[in-house]
Amino acid sequence: MNRFAQSTCYAVVICAIVLTIATTSIAQEKLRIDNDTVVVLESPWEELESRTKADLHGLHAVNHKIIWASGGNGTVIRSVDGGTSWNQFTVKDAACPDGPLLIDIHGVDEATAIAISAATPAKIYRTTNGGLRWKAMLEYPGDKVFFRSLSFWDSQRGIVMGNAIDGRMLLLRTSDGGVVWKRLREEHRPVMNAGEIGMMGGGTHMETQGDQTLVVALGGSDTGSRENSRVLISKDYCRSWVSGSVPVRRSKMGGVFSVHFSTEKDGVVIGGDSENPEFKDRIYAVTSDGGKTWGVPTPAYPPSGFRSSVARFIDDKEVKLVAVGPSGTDLSTDLGNKWRKVSEKGFRVVNFTPDGKQGFAAGNKGQIARWIPEAVKTKTPATTTAENNGRVAQ
């Protein structure tokens, strides 16, 4: 081998080594187990370039290719290639010169999506050309109305939840894909306790199930801290409601932020106090009877702090749950009974595709990431040791 060929070969080898190191460093992160313990693990999140610096609140993975997200200053982003690239759009509204805060979004397909604003006047926007133009389909009168969440049973039937109006939850429903919205009759809108609201966890405090079931989890208080929050369930398309007490402490900025049912019977609520994110007591609860009763498992293995959103993903045929919050990500492999921290990366909202195979998370300053299920298929020796002994050598 001549000297030039030998130098070229060395250069190729060195580049390969550098690339391997760089790829490995991207795929790994330091996970803090406790004050004295830090381990290096493969990260379950792949950071993506969203092309925006706006805070993101709403997120919906329509399928493996199409993902919509929404946030501050009228910002909407959309990917049609599974999150590899994103297009940014702006919902323009003369009533909101800086752009409305789009608290939640639901994508129907590549062209059609519905978004709701948390600003006043509260509005529901819709696009049918991929986000290029948006039309306000409804403007709710009054300066005390704030929309909180948006969900659909199917491509035509959807519902928007807002804060209490005259003591009852505000619910608006559509049956034509979001073109026309009508407020439910008073007797079909549940009574709200003083100070109760839907907490801002990317709209995940409300969940549609099957053909007619709606679950709404609540928090908030205007009279100090309360020991319990509530979950309201309707199984007849909002004609009647059942209220369940949940052992999650609620306060001005605390309560249940997110709810998810993995099966008809098995559900979990998650939350805490966003002003005290390190607090772990009474931040989650589970049910195994369809929401009739809720409790905290004994012994309790709670998430590692305040969590604002929870979603299900399917690992092979196994159901697992992912919860995100500002201080990191937690995983449960037993329908929400026990949780363990798997990442220091924090987000506001997490959402998986309908088949549960592909997930995304979004947060502040345009932060968006794709879930890497291979990273959490098995526990690492370090994680197992940490759970057993409470210590892992750095």
CA pair distance 185, 258, nearest whole angstrom: 26
Task: For the beta carbon of residue 306, count every other beta carbon within 10 angstroms.
Answer: 25
CA atoms within 13 A on the CB side of 116: 26
From its phi and psi, is residue 238 left (phi > 0), alpha (psi between -120 and 50) or beta? left
Q: What CATH superfamily classification does 44-371 receive? A: YVTN repeat-like/Quinoprotein amine dehydrogenase (2.130.10.10)
Residues 215-266: tens digit of each pLDDT: 999 999 988 888 999 999 999 999 999 999 999 999 999 999 999 999 999 9
- Provide the residue ranges of all domains of the chain, joining segments of one domain with +: 44-371
Instruction: Please tell me the predicted confidence (pLDDT) of residue 304.
Output: 95
Residue 127 phi, psi (nearest 5): -125, 145
Residues 254-308: tens digit of each pLDDT: 999 999 999 999 999 999 999 999 999 999 999 999 999 999 999 999 999 999 9
Residues 150-195: tens digit of each pLDDT: 999 999 999 999 999 989 999 999 999 999 999 999 999 999 998 9
The pTM of this model reads 0.89
pLDDT at residue 3 tops 90? no
Residue 54's closest CA among 116, 120, 22, 101? Answer: 101
Residues 324-345: tens digit of each pLDDT: 999 999 999 999 999 999 999 9
CA pair distance 270, 228, nearest whole angstrom: 12
Concatenated DSSP letters of 357-369? S-EEEE-GGG-EE
Task: For the beta carbon of residue 28, count every other beta carbon within 10 angstroms.
Answer: 13
Average confidence (pLDDT) over 105-110: 98
CA pair distance 388, 394, nearest whole angstrom: 16
Task: For the beta carbon of residue 318, count every other beta carbon within 10 angstroms.
Answer: 9
Average confidence (pLDDT) over 137-146: 88
- Provide the residue type at 166 as one letter: D
Average confidence (pLDDT) over 94-98: 90
Residue 274's closest CA among 304, 293, 252, 291? Answer: 252
